[in-house]
Chain A
Amino acid sequence: AQSVTQPDIHITVSEGASLELRCNYSYGATPYLFWYVQSPGQGLQLLLKYFSGDTLVQGIKGFEAEFKRSQSSFNLRKPSVHWSDAAEYFCAANTGFQKLVFGTGTRLLVSP
């Protein structure tokens, strides 16, 4: 079955430190890949997406993600985390005409 896995439920990062959130997918073919962020009390907002081409994708708010076919991964990164980045992050995938499948999310906590 098609699935998206986010192995980390919580991650705590010091402000100013780098961040990497993990995402793995299980699909027969390479899906379209997305990262969404949900701030407390808010809906989800698209950070970035990968369809094809360059495997390093730039997004909003200084985030980037790298697609690695060999590892079936699409990890989200940010070189320097700000306190306002504390939120829940969702990886998602679909294969065009199929519905979007979300991971269970990773909650990011930012310590001073």
Chain B
Amino acid sequence: ETGVTQTPRHLVMGMTNKKSLKCEQHLGHNAMYWYKQSAKKPLELMFVYSLEERVENNSVPSRFSPECPNSSHLFLHLHTLQPEDSALYLCASSQVWGGNTGELFFGEGSRLTVL
């Protein structure tokens, strides 16, 4: 496999469920990102990990909990979500965090529906 892979592609959950989104990158990058994409809104950066350390938390509610066990894997644990959390969640990676590159490599996203 190459690139950035996200699973599952689609997820439906109730507000009391606990689920996780998974992202894996095969590019040897050191930085990984979670973005939220909602209709008619700009992409919202949620979290950034650089060398497995969280370097950015963009005021995301605690019902979203990221985990980065190594530089190739990133998880987003979901708990007690609200219907307004329904969105496409995109994972991305880049060679480094910061610096003069904005080249992000995106996965295909996980479409989340909260009932």
B102 contacts A49, CB within 8 Å?
yes
Per the bound structure, the CA–CA distance linking A45 and B103 in Å amounts to 9
Instruction: Classify the secondary structure of B's interface with A.
Output: loop
Tell me which residues across on chain B come within 8 A of A100, comparing CB atoms.
45, 102, 104
Contact between chains at A32 and B102 (CB < 8 Å): yes
Residues of A within 8 A of B56 (CB): 99
- Give the distance to chain A from B90, nearest Cβ to Cβ, in Å: 6
Most buried by B among A32, A93, A97, A99: A99
Q: Is the CB of B67 closer than 8 A to any CB of chain A? A: no
Check: A44 CB closer than 8 A to any chain B CB.
yes
Given the known A-B contacts A32-B100, A99-B48, A99-B56, are A104 and B40 also in contact in the complex, defined by CB atoms under 8 Å?
yes
**Residue in A closest to B100 when the chains form the complex, CB atoms:** A96
The answer to whether the Cβ of B61 comes within 8 Å of any Cβ in the partner chain is no
Smallest CB–CB gap between B106 and chain A, Å? Answer: 3
